[in-house]
Amino acid sequence: MHLFDVRGNFHFCLMKTLYLFILYLIGAPLVGAWLAGWDRRLSARLQSRVGPPILQPVYDVLKLTQKENMVVRRSQNFYIAYYLIFVIFTGALFFTGQDMLLIIFSLMLASVFFVLAGFKASSPYSFIGAQRELVQIMAYEPAVIFAAIGMYMVTGTFEVSKLAQTNHWLILSLPGIFFAYLFILAMKLRKSPFDISTSHHGHQEVVKGITTEFSGKALAMIEVAHWYETTFILGIVYLFFAKSVVAGLSAALAAYVFMVFVDNAFARVKWPLALASSWIVAFLCGAGNMIWLFFTRH
């Protein structure tokens, strides 16, 4: 009977994980595309324009898949394909409730493939964009790691499934860490003032940094990867308010809308300022929050 129960629980957990993975695989790009559409519409209204349809990002990606695939080197698209795969894999780990540290490692690996694609394109613009992407990775990683460690200090676990079911309002214990994460959110969403490697809007510059030499299906894969990544990044915001589903979803949506306003209100900064400010905020607010937790809990 005991063996039967173990097998039954294993089968249930496996089916639940598979169900969540399929739901994420289909739902995440739909949510990401919907947010990208509202991003364009809100940005247009802030600039006294009507703006495109909400589904315009989907139309753009479908059009890109029909265009001729022009490449400098064929291997650059190989790296883009792996970038998309690892972004999807990272989000799948998150939404099926796996370990946060493994998720962070997987996200970093996806970013490395994106950087390699930029270097492989053999263009001075994409080369500089790839260098700036490396700077961005160094800038935002401390805040992301502090978020995972802070959640562990409060709940005693790195598992997303348990963090999502916590009875704690993590935002009350981790206000500094949340602020540090919110500060680098513009980097992950590629918005001003920290969209130093590339921008998802045409208002910044004609040359689009690391994505300059990508077109057709490769550029479509980059856009789809951004949709997946946006959903996953906002999922971490949700965890700070996970005690209430409504509060978590509202906070994630509010964070994205806030980033849209920031994107339209600030000009791009230079990479030294982006790196320095991110580290200062991460270590003052994030590390300071963890030190406060350590002494108040011992």
Cα–Cα distance between 89 and 229 in angstroms, integer? 10
Name the β-bridge partners of 269.
Answer: none
The per-residue pLDDT for 207 is 59
Secondary structure of residue 158 in the 3-state scheme: coil
The per-residue pLDDT for 202 is 56
The per-residue pLDDT for 46 is 85
The per-residue pLDDT for 9 is 65
The per-residue pLDDT for 110 is 92
- What DSSP string runs through 47-84? TT-----TTHHHHHHHHHHTS----S-THHHHHHHHHH
The per-residue pLDDT for 266 is 84
- Give me the residues of the chain with pLDDT under 70, please: 1-13, 71-72, 200-207, 298
The angle subtended at Cα 22 by Cα 21 and Cα 28, nearest 5°, is 85
The per-residue pLDDT for 175 is 94
Question: For 69, left (φ over 0), alpha (ψ -120 to 50), or beta?
Answer: beta
Residues 43-75: tens digit of each pLDDT: 888 888 888 889 999 999 999 888 877 766 777
Contact status, residue 52 vs residue 43, Cβ threshold 8 Å = no
The per-residue pLDDT for 3 is 43
The per-residue pLDDT for 12 is 62
Cα–Cα distance between 133 and 182 in angstroms, integer? 19
